[in-house]
Chains A and B, each alone.
Chain A
Amino acid sequence: MAAHGKKERMFERLTVSQRIQHVVLFVSTSLLIITGFMLMGERWAIDMFGSAGDSIFYWRGIIHRVAGVAVTVVCIYHIGYVFISKEGRSWILDMLPNLKDGSDAVQNVRYMLGFRKDRPAMDRFTYLEKLEYFSVWFGMFIVIVTGTMMWTEQYWPKFYLDVADAFHLGEATLAALAIIVGHIFSVHYNPHVYPMNKAFIDGKISESLMKEEHPLWLERELAKLEEENENAPEGKQEDA
């Protein structure tokens, strides 16, 4: 359990690059959700804007497009990042789903229901985090493709645009709800981190939280530290 009041050893959860990617992603996604769903408003809601509605509609369109470009850029950057950079490769390798995720899920549900004594020991990314991460890949692929189609509407048959629109709306609704129910819970309302997991700002995770949520990763990190310390010249050992 967390050693309150005591200075804890911290590990790096998110690198600077990852944090910047995350900020761009969440700011633009929030703007996209707000400005996008403004098109779904019913008459009574839209009427509340009154005479400002026209300008609001104009800026709604601009903001949606700018945020759309930002999110596309960060997604393309991310693809390059996970294939080219060293930290990106380590990220995607740890993120790849494996058989253990399946057994983790089953064991975790059994634990939560009270049929098991302990939570399964999970690695750097839990099965839910992997699911969320690849949902973003899947979702972004759909909204970017359909969004680009609708932006270049004059080249497409109207029916294709209707299909694109249906996918864009469906995916956006799914994403918005999944973010609220899934992500907001795990990083804000989760009792372990309430009121907020600050890792997206400082990039750090405490040893105690790691032990609780990612024990296998902690083991790996500690082993890595030990190895480094052994290789390091005398007298320069990091004191834990």
Chain B
Amino acid sequence: MSEDTFMGVPRNTIDWKPTIDYEKCNYCMECFDFCPHKVFKKQEDDPIKLIVENPLNCVVFCRACSKTCGLDALEFPNKVEVTKKIKETRSGVASGE
């Protein structure tokens, strides 16, 4: 198990990361404080004070940060779609790509 794979496929082929809805986000930083994987980055001097800096650090299928967000400002991709994609990628990998 290399550190860049999930379910046997390269992590960078999997689209799984939070997306910040800046219309809703009030920069409370609960998600930043919560996520131990350094997915988010604070930008103190920027009008946009929080960004998704390391999307590939995000644990695939983890949505725990969104549970800390009272404003529902974090969105994740559709799990079923992502799973389907992973399975497809994996069968491609298995068939000798």
- Do the two shown chains form a genuine complex with each other? no
Interface residues of chain A, those whose CB is within 8 Å of chain B, are none
